[in-house]
Amino acid sequence: MKNKPKILFISGSPRNGNTDFALSKIYDSIDNNHKELIFLKDQDIKFCKGCLTCHKKPKCVIKDDMGAILTKMINSDIFVIGTPNYFDNVSGLMKNFIDRCHPLYKTELVRAKKVILILVGGGKSQGTRKYLSLSFFGFVKYLKLNLINEYSFQALNPLDLSKNESALKNISKIAKKINSLC
Ligand SMILES: Cc1cc2nc3c(=O)[nH]c(=O)nc-3n(C[C@H](O)[C@H](O)[C@H](O)COP(=O)(O)O)c2cc1C
């Protein structure tokens, strides 16, 4: 029997709000035990120093939680990545995570892995999608990932998404789509 794909969820919100809610909901609906949800706010991830040592060897000189996350990424098949919109960009937590993925650049270690983006902003969802899609452009391009879909939601206060019926329906649809990849 074919092994089920491994799904890694990564949330880049510093608060327990809409992005965490959306990712947790989708995570709970995935009918696959090969899944893990990482909240970047709970991880010790220092800033990239820009030393470029990882160009010679795909490993980071910084000893923190990012090493384990990179290993989890290499061992996963699908990434579901969520971030809030901060100034029409990803959150600082998410940008820091993206920068620390640099050891994967110049490797084939995550090539063609599927990515689904969950983007949450207080303003119109079209704007969040347009700008944050650009924020992930280099991440997808340089790690040679396969961007499957980007979903954006409008929610300002932490509980907004959980109280929005139409958003809840969309979250269920996204979960179904991801389940169909498993
Ligand atoms: C520093 C900061 C900047 C923000 N900038 C934007 C923005 O440019 N556009 C937008 O639509 N929402 C913006 N927001 C609103 C958040 O995206 C919104 O509150 C969202 O629900 C946060 O997601 P979370 O609950 O998962 O943390 C900003 C919020 C903060 C704290």
Q: Mean of the per-residue pLDDT values for the chain?
A: 97
Is ligand 1 within 6 A of the CB of residue 87? yes
* Domain residue ranges in the chain: 7-181
54-82 pLDDT tens trace: 999 999 999 999 999 999 999 999 999 99
Closest ligand 1 atom to residue 89 Cα is 8
What is the average per-residue pLDDT within 21-31?
96
Sequence-distant (≥ 6) Cβ neighbours of residue 101 within 8 angstroms: 70, 73, 139, 143
Q: Which of 156, 159, 161, 164 has most ligand 1 atoms within 8 Å of its beta carbon, as the pocket-test mutant?
A: 156
87 CA → ligand 1 middle, Å = 7
Give the CATH architecture of domain 7-181: 3-Layer(aba) Sandwich (3.40)
Q: What kind and span of H or E run contains 182?
A: none
